[in-house]
Amino acid sequence: MRILVTGGAGYVGSASIEALVEAGHEVIALDNMATADGASDLDGAELVVGSYTDRESMTPLLRDRSVDAVLHCGARSLVGESVQDPALYFRENVAGGIALLEAMHDAGTNRLVISSTAAVYGIPDETPIPEDAPLRPINAYGETKRSLEAAAAWFSRAYGLRLVSVRYFNVAGASGRNGERHSPETHLIPNVLAAADGGAPLTLFGTDYETPDGTPIRDYVHVVDLADAHRLALDATAPGDSRTESALFMNLGSGVGYSVRQVLHGAEAVIGRKVPHGYGERRAGDPPVLIASIERARSLLGWEPTRSTLEEMIGSAWAERQRRESRKT
């Protein structure tokens, strides 16, 4: 099928495009380069520079190119920035997301997979977190994703949009050609690797949590496992598929948690050097444990994360970092 991937030049989008092209799909990558550095390898896909928020240009693009389905990875996704500048986040992620939904409706493209986030849950009452846990985001980023999910669910009910919204936990690792490059980088694994490679020492925020080693535990999923889940979720939006008769919400994680110290020591073991680090105060709003229940993705998509071990995630991210650094010299 022909699939348009918004945010296609970003981390998750570019790795997903690799998997979709490999599976034989025709792919259009749409990106306005707001946070992309232009270095993603999108071989096999066509890159269109533009914004998904622009209904006027999105409608003809979807219609004239007979796009069957959209994988919506494009977004603003920095938690701190979202709290400082909620206007940007609501304008882009919510108003812009609704413009995309309307363009899809106008063009008759009715298959959609949305990149959502565990941030929609806020601080959960239970972990592993099931999809029917209360949605109580504690930052503007999570609130914008919850809002877009809600709008899309109503489009699904009223206009027959076939929707799967996938809530990622922490995405990690690299594909064969693309890896994680956010600026600023707020994610743990790339910051551990940067510290190991002569960058700023890592700060462990809080070592007195109610966890076995005192540091917070998070669920990490390999970006290539995530790309597989996207492919399966897009298949589930096919006309007549009973799984998407109504909107579907689904966690994507590994179902396993690693503490900050486990990630640090795992990285030291994988790359064979010490990672310089120091200690800081707990950060507001950081719960001790966040782990996904992934039973719904398993049972409905037949998905199983097979690469989401610390060794594979850190090993692939390190290898990609080395490739990227060697290209610079």
Site for ligand NAD in 167-226 (CB under 6 A): 168, 170-171, 182
CB 94 within 8 A of CB 50: no
Beta strands in 50-148 (DSSP E): 69-72, 111-117
143 binds ligand NAD (CB under 6 A): no
CB 113 within 8 A of CB 234: yes
**Which CB, 54 or 268, lies closer to ligand NAD?**
54
Q: Which of 6, 110, 147, 316 binds ligand NAD (CB under 6 A)?
A: 6
Show Cβ contacts of residue 37 under 8 Å, excluding neighbours closer than 6 positions.
181, 183
**Annotated catalytic residue 11:** no
89 binds ligand NAD (CB under 6 A): no
Site for ligand NAD in 30-49 (CB under 6 A): 30-36
Q: Which of 77, 110, 165, 308 binds ligand NAD (CB under 6 A)?
A: 77
Q: Which of 61, 96, 235, 244 binds ligand NAD (CB under 6 A)?
A: 96
Strand partners of residue 44 = none
Show Cβ contacts of residue 122 under 8 Å, excluding neighbours closer than 6 positions.
135, 136, 137, 138, 142
C-alpha separations of 318 from 150, 163, 276 in Å: 37, 35, 16
**Minimum distance from residue 119 beta carbon to ligand NAD (Å):** 7
In which residue are the tokens 């693309």 written? 178
Distance CA 136, CA 119 (A): 9
**Minimum distance from residue 43 beta carbon to ligand NAD (Å):** 17
Q: Catalytic residue, from 141, 168, 220, 258: name it.
A: 141
| Of 290, 287, 247, 56, residue with least CA distance to 153 | 247
52 binds ligand NAD (CB under 6 A): yes
Q: Which stretch binds ligand NAD (CB under 6 A): 5-13, 128-136, 241-249, 287-295?
A: 5-13
**Which CB, 53 or 156, lies closer to ligand NAD?**
53
Exposure of 256 by Cβ count < 10 A (0-12 exposed, 13-18 middle, 19+ buried)? middle
Handedness of CA 299, 154, 137, 31 (dihedral sign): positive
**Which CB, 149 or 235, lies closer to ligand NAD?**
149
Q: Which of 3, 4, 5, 13 binds ligand NAD (CB under 6 A)?
A: 13
**Minimum distance from residue 154 beta carbon to ligand NAD (Å):** 20
9 binds ligand NAD (CB under 6 A): yes
Note the residues at the interface with ligand NAD (CB under 6 A): 6-7, 9-13, 30-36, 51-53, 73-75, 77, 92, 96, 115, 117, 168, 170-171, 182
Active-site residue list = 141
